[in-house]
Each structure stands twice: as C-alpha cells, then as structure tokens.
Chain A
Amino acid sequence: MLKKDTYDVVIIGSGPGGLAAAVAAKEEGAEDVLVIERDTELGGILLQCIHNGFGAEVFNEDLPGPSYAQRYIDETLELGVEFLLDTIVLEVTPDRKIFASSKLHGFVEITARAIVLAMGCRERTRAMIQIPGMRPAGVYTAGTAQRFVNIEGKMPGEKVVILGSGDIGLIMARRLTFEGAKVERVCEILPYLSGLTRNYVQCLQDFDIPLQFRHTVKFIYGKNRVEAVEIAEVDDKWQYIPGTEELIPCDTLLLSVGLIPENELSRQAGVELDPITGGPYVDESRQTNVPGIFAAGNVVHVYDLADWVTWAGLDAGKGAAKYAKAIRAKEMELIPVIAGKNVHHVIPQAINKRSLEDEEIELQLRVLKPIEERTIIEVHDGKNQITRKLERYVRPGEMNTIVLKPRHFADVEKASNITVEVNPR
C-alpha cells in the first residue's frame, strides 16, 4: 500500500526510461519517488526482450533485456524508490494529480510535485496502414507475438510472413525460427531497412530468411484464421506494380511497421505534442510545456536502443527532482531547435540557453533519407556554423546525435534559433 498521498516525483512506467528516472531523481535528492507500473513486474517491455543486445552503451556489456532491467531494478530498490505494480494510471491533471486503478491497491489518488511520463510507445497496427482483406485471427503486431512467445510460452503461428523490417519484427523472425516455425518472408515497403543493420544480419541473414524491399502485403485471405497473404512490389509512390503479385500460404502475419509514442495521458494533462514525433515537445531537461511534467524515452520519440532511453530517463529524473525541490532555474530562455535539411526531427525541440553555460546538451536526430557515404551533421544559427560532426553513413533506422558543449554557449547565446542539417560531405 502507499505510504502517503503526496510524492516529490511520480514516474509513470517502469521500462528503461522510468527506472533510470527513478534512480536519477533519488540521486538528485528527491525524497519520495514513486514508480507506477501497469504490469505485474518491473521492467516494461524489456521483460519480453529476452534476446541480447542491451547495455553496450550504458554498461559496456551485452545483456538480454530482463538482465538489463534488473540492474536498474536493483538500484531503485537500494535507493528506496516505492512502487505500485499492476496499477494503471487513468488520468494525469495539469496540476499533477494522478488517478490510478489497481486490483491489488484499489483506486489511488496521488499528488506529485513533479511527474515523469515514461509510458513508452505502442505498435502501429494493420488498420493504420490499411492493409486490405479479411479480418481473421493470426494478424498480430510483432510485440504482441513476442509477448505470447516469451512471456506466455505459446506459439501464435507456424507459417509466418512478416511485414515491415522494424527491429521487433526482425528479432521475432529469429525467435519464431528457433521455436520451430517457418518464417516465409519479410517484406519492407521502403527501399531500405527500418531497423538496425545488426538485427538484419543476426536475425535474417544468419537464418536464410528472405527479405524483400519495396514489397508490401496487398491482401489478407482467411475467414477465421489467416490462410494466405498476397504480396506485391510497389513503385516510388507505393502503388502496386501489376504482375508482381505473389500468393504466400501462411497462418500468421506479423506487423513490424513502426512505433508511436504513447501519449494519451500526456494529452489529458495538457501536454503539447509534436505532430512530427507524436511525442511531447521537450527541452534539454525533458520538461514538457506543462511545468513540472517531464517526459523521457520512447514516449518522446522512438529510440532504436534501450540504452538511449536510459540516458533520457536519467535526464528527466534529474530535471523532475530539481523541479520538485524548486531549485530549477526559474528564468528560462528557450530557443527552438529546428529540423533542417534531411532531418526528420530533433530532440529536444527547444533548449534553455543558460543550461549550456555549465553542461553539455545532446541533440538526438533521425534523418529522412539514408546517405551511404561520409556525411556531415551540422548545427548552425541560420547563418554561421556552431558545430559539426562527421559520420560514415546515416540511416533512418539508426538515431544520430550531436553534442553542444559549454564552449558553444557564446554562439548559442546570440542565436534566436538553431538548426540541425545533414548533408553528404
């Protein structure tokens, strides 16, 4: 049961972002920190990610998802963070009241001095990409299938076609193969990979699972259970190319067609969302437009590595604790960070100039189009370059970063906005 009804920092979600935020909030001096998790255990989606590939950045180790989560779970427990498990937050108000509900703990009302939104993201569905055809059992998002296999220990299919080359789809191609299912095909409508290259190599190439770019599912067959899918090649405008249709008999279609930040609670709280990312506008401390409400991880924009989410959580937890203790700099001088040429979006969308006086600010970006040669990521103020970074290549499936350092403060101070753009060298 809850010890009190008012907390310094309340964190919604216990994935990598939420757990890191809890640790950082405690370390920054917040006295009472509460994490609310809707599942029955801590760790969020990491718990069903039993493959390795976590921790290279944070721990310099290669860990499976649950082990990665456990590191932070242990730390939060040591620091005396409180938890409500099996509890879903129903509403967050702009003045930071939280209504939550639980079979174990009943109906809960809490007031928080600061809140960290760490709800993660959800998967895009069949309807969002409007795949025509019947609506039988056997069409799953890759993450739902992953839960069935890794948490419930049940196989959702035997003959599988996967649409989309997102990371969870690639991981599930391998996982289902391990379990004796046959993955017939992976189709990707884009001419390049949506997920990480390492996942393509380790999950498809190593198991001889064919991947077709510029291909999509044209029709789903089957009244009660999937019986087949028709796939087809598409042109540059994503129109089917006649004559390229192929019928693939299968019992399951998995969708790995993108993730969307989960922000239904944020909206209720009055948090303004960026239509490009689907997540809140945040500054470098991960504060949203609503004072005292912070957001971190996939709820802000979708990351390709959990390690990044952890770092975002650390920033948000620190910001929230400072706010709760009311030592946060009251005078903010926010300037917008603009996504320039070949940049899909940049996080944070605005920075407080003054922060740069004594700390680094990392800008995270996704490119619009891949560039498979030496590339320059540049930050400028509209006229003059502030800093630049060289990359061997850039790909939409892999996030890039560029760091502003205190030595850039003089340049940034003069600017009314800053722009990030990516060009071949």
Chain B
Amino acid sequence: MQEKYDYIVIGAGVVGSIIARTLSRYEGRILLIEKEADICMGTTAANTAIVHAGYDPLPNTLKARMNVKGNAMWDTLAGELNFPFERRGDFVVAVGDEEFPELETLMTFAKKNGVPGCQILPGHEVRRREKNITPDVSGAVWASTGGICDPFQATVAAAENAVMNGVEVKLNTAFEEFIMDGDRIIGIKTNQGDFLSRWVVNCAGLYSDFVMHQAGVRPEFKIRPRKGEYFVFDRADVQIDNVLFPVPTDKGKGILVTTTVHGNTILGPNAEIIDDKNDTSTTTSGMDEIWAGANKLVPSLSKKHVIATFAGLRPMGNGPCKTPGVDYNKDFIVEIPEKVRGFVNLGGIESPGLASSPAIAQEVIDLLKDAGEEMKVKKDWDPIRPSRPRFREMSQKDRKLLVEMDPSYGRVICRCENVTEGEIIAEIHAPIPATNYDAIKRRTWLGTGRCQGGFDTPRVVEILSKELGVSPLEITKRGKGSKFLFRPTKKVEN
C-alpha cells in the first residue's frame, strides 16, 4: 500500500524546511524528504549566514521582491521558532575614491527594491563604527535591516516545528523520478519506495535542475554550482562586530568580513563556477583569493587566528528565469508550470535564498491558492518551537539551576564551546533526531571551536553509541560512508 500525501517537499534545506513548516499551517498530509542523513546538509550548511537587506538584487525581479519581503519576516520567524537572529545592519564598504560611485548605484537599487533604512555614510563615520576597517575607506552604504542568523538552527527549528504540526520527515530518501498520470504528477519514486501525492514541491537546491527535468519542465535550465570558500576565526582573538561587504562586482557580492551570531568572525566567499556538485573542497587559490579580498577591508587580520575553513556551493541557475528581460542567472524560479499539473517548481535559489526563504514559502502558498487549492488553516496549528537550553549562553547562576534540575547538563563534552552531555542527549531525542556527529555539531555548535572536535569526538561517539543503542563502530560523521572507527584493537592474549 503506497502512502498518500497532499504535499511532498523534495529537499530539507532552509527553503524546503520553511515551506514544509508553512504548509503545515493548512490542512493536508505533508512529507518532507531529504537524500542525506540529516536535514540542512547542502547549500544551507555552508554559507555566510546573512539575512540580506535587499539592495543587491536587480530591481523588478522576483529575487528583489522575495529578498525585501523575506527580510521583514525574520523577526517573527526567529521569535516563533527560537533560533539565533540579530538585526545588526550591514555595511557595503567603498575603498578608495574610485569605488565611492558604486554606493550611489546600490542606493538606487535599494530605493527601487523598496529597502527601508539605507543611507550613505562618510568614511570617518564608518571608521568610528568599525575600528578595524581599512583607513582607505571612502564611505559605505549602511543598511539597517541587514541581519545575521544561524542557518542550521533556523532550518532545524523550522523542520521541527513542521514535525510538531504533523509533517512527516524521511531522511536518506533520494528522489528518483515522478509518477505521472497523463500531464499530472501523482507521486514520486525514491530509493526508499514510492509515495503518492497531489502536489510535489521542488526544493532540491543544487539538484533542482534534475528534479524539474524529470517533470519535463525547463529542460534548458541547468544549475551551475558556484563554490565559495570561507575562513573562520577564533572569537577570543578576532572580534569584528559588523557585517562588512565590499562593493559588488559581476561575480557577486564579493568577499565579506563579517561577524556571526556565535561571535566568530568569518571571511568569504569567493565565487568559482564548478561542475561537480559534490566538490566542497577548499583550495590553495581560493584561500589566497579570500585572504586578499578580506585584507582589503580589514588589513589587520592574521592567519594565526584561523580555526576552521570550509566551502559551500550555491545553486546558481544558468537561466532562463521568471522575470522577462532579466539576464540568465540573476533571478529565482518560483512557479507552477503550465504544462505539468501538481508541481511547484523552484530553481536557482542561491543567495539571498536564506533571507528570501519565508517569502518564498508564502509565494508557494499564494501559487497553490491561485491554482485552486482551498488552503484551509488548521485550528490547532502551533507556530512556536520551544528552545532548548544552551549552556554556553547561560549565566553561572542559570547554569547552576539547570545542573540541579538535570545533572547531565553538568558534564561538559565540548570544552571550547561549553556544550554539555544534556544538550547532546536532547538533540539525539529531538523531533528530528540527530544521529551522527555533524548533526549534533550543527545543532549545538559543538566541535566548532579552536580544537575543532579533537577533544569531544571520542566522547560524542560514546554518547551517540549509548543513546542510539549501537556499537561505536557504527557511529558516523555525517551518515553513510563516514564512519569514525574501523574495528576493535587486537585482543590481549593471556
């Protein structure tokens, strides 16, 4: 007997998870599938974590509209779902007089896109607000609505809230093809069996081209992954309190120097078009490029304080997009295609996809309504995902109370980030269980500090093994093929 759903969402990145959560407000049975061993494993797992203000996208594009609308929705989203989000504002920094005119262009975009709270600041004022900035700064666009967030926690919180409201989540489940009835999609085939559904939503990110091609939609559309590499600094050594963009170029928004909600300064990304959707490697040339770019904005940075490097892929489309007259890869696709029924198609949701995601989810609801769906609101929909204790963020007084309530919060497993056994156990038994090391890392921020998991890894393996009731030899870093350990050591013969 095949399971029957009203909506299947393919892909549990931030877009898929927020769409699933938004759909869960309405009546209907919903399935969210993810090919990896955890949610939030693709583009959402490796980006700059910025909720863009919206002065960057070309005016009159869907991307511009989604960005500005989405940005305004983040306070409510973070408030309901309880994940870290700070509306700090951001700077686009012009270095030298020759870059200053670019700021006027951005202001024009900001005005056309309807971005509130933007103004040009003179160089001395920028220096006053960020003491680490280059003395060559000639001015900056200040966008007060720019924000920073934790994309992992945002995605986990949205997906958990979806589960609380009845959405089913299937991990390690890869879409293979559609089940069609004439021109209507009636389900999907996956590596875990077939699932029937009245609607399927394509949130496959880097693989959104594959999914739409399987539906016969936009055969000319192709994702061209744009790789971006990053440096992360030890927050004890480097503290940049602001979000600093360079002036944008054809290649994108450029190499930033920015703070994060965890207090670590990060640098990046560069932008390299690649072919391999699995290639999340860092490279010598990429790291050199980031370093040069970041030093232009903040000359005082030292490589001595780097504690992590990583790379992420952005699912940039080659076009065509939804907006007539707009160049290839400059816009999102969010549509219900005319020639296939039962399909909501998304594509090319690269930056500012994170900022846009709540607006995109609303757009999907509107499209479904336009297509004749009733979209009846459930009476018992609960928008609140309660937060769980985070030892590292608590005062000593609150820690004391927490440990008295549950002693497992007294055992610190990650010494750099002060993550406790209690927090790890809570994540293993959460609505979407964290069953591997990276899943716990992304949810708790464990292993992200200066020792990069050197201390906690054996201990986390032990806790996972105990809580999941499996051998330590079965514990993985991030799912299939990524085991930490191979076999027991030799037995001592007496």
Contact = CB atoms under 8 A, between A and B. Distances in A.
A180 B399 contact: no
A153 B489 contact: yes
B318 interface: no
B390 interface: no
B457 A144 contact: yes
B426 to A, nearest CB: 15
Contact of B473 (A140, A154, A157): A154
Interface in B447-467: 450-455, 457-458, 461-462
Main secondary structure of the interface of B (DSSP, over half): mixed
B490 interface: yes
Given A101-B399, A106-B404, A106-B407, A264 B462 contact: no
Contacts of A224: 476-482
B1 interface: no
Interface residues of A, number: 56
Given A128-B306, A128-B307, A219-B281, A103 B408 contact: yes
Given A102-B410, A102-B411, A128-B306, A148 B485 contact: yes
- Contact-residue size bin, chain B (C-beta under 8 Å from the other chain): 35 or more
B38 interface: no
A155 B486 contact: yes
A140 B307 CA distance: 15
Contacts of A156: 484-486
A137 B408 contact: no
A133 B282 contact: yes
Given A106-B407, A136-B482, A149 B452 contact: no
B281 A122 contact: no
A241 interface: no
A264 B414 CA distance: 13
Given A88-B411, A107-B400, A144-B458, 13 more contacts: A38-B415, A99-B396, A101-B412, A103-B408, A109-B396, A122-B451, A126-B452, A133-B281, A136-B477, A148-B484, A156-B484, A220-B281, A251-B486
A137 B477 CA distance: 6
B404 A137 contact: no
A88 B418 CA distance: 10
A178 B415 CA distance: 31
Contacts of A125: 307, 450-452, 454
A91 interface: yes
B309 to A, nearest CB: 5
A127 B399 contact: no
Interface string B400-421: 1001100110111001101011
A388 interface: no
B308 interface: yes
Given A103-B411, A137-B478, A90 B488 contact: no
Contacts of A126: 452
B472 interface: yes
Interface string B264-285: 0000000000000010111110
A136 B486 CA distance: 15
Interface string B294-333: 0000000001001111100000000000000000000000
Contact of B281 (A88, A132, A149, A264): A132
B483 A225 contact: yes
Contacts of B458: 144, 147-148, 151-152
A352 interface: no
A246 B207 CA distance: 33
A125 B308 CA distance: 9
Nearest to A252: B486
Interface of B: 232, 236, 278, 280-284, 286-287, 303, 306-310, 396, 399-400, 403-404, 407-408, 410-412, 415-416, 418, 420-421, 450-455, 457-458, 461-462, 472-473, 476-490
Contacts of B412: 38, 88, 90, 101
Interface in A99-140: 99, 101-107, 109, 122-123, 125-128, 130, 132-138, 140
B54 to A, nearest CB: 32
B421 A132 contact: no
A354 interface: no
Contacts of B286: 132
Contacts of B462: 152
Contacts of B232: 127
Given A90-B418, A102-B410, A133-B282, A179 B236 contact: no
B415 A91 contact: no
Contacts of B283: 132
Contacts of A107: 396, 399-400, 403-404, 410
Contacts of A102: 410-411
Contact of B306 (A127, A133, A134, A220): A127
A130 B403 contact: no
Contact of B278 (A88, A101, A223): A223
Contact of B472 (A122, A128, A152, A264): A152
Nearest to A152: B458
Nearest to B487: A155
Contacts of A166: none
A296 B478 CA distance: 39
Most buried by B among A127, A138, A225: A127
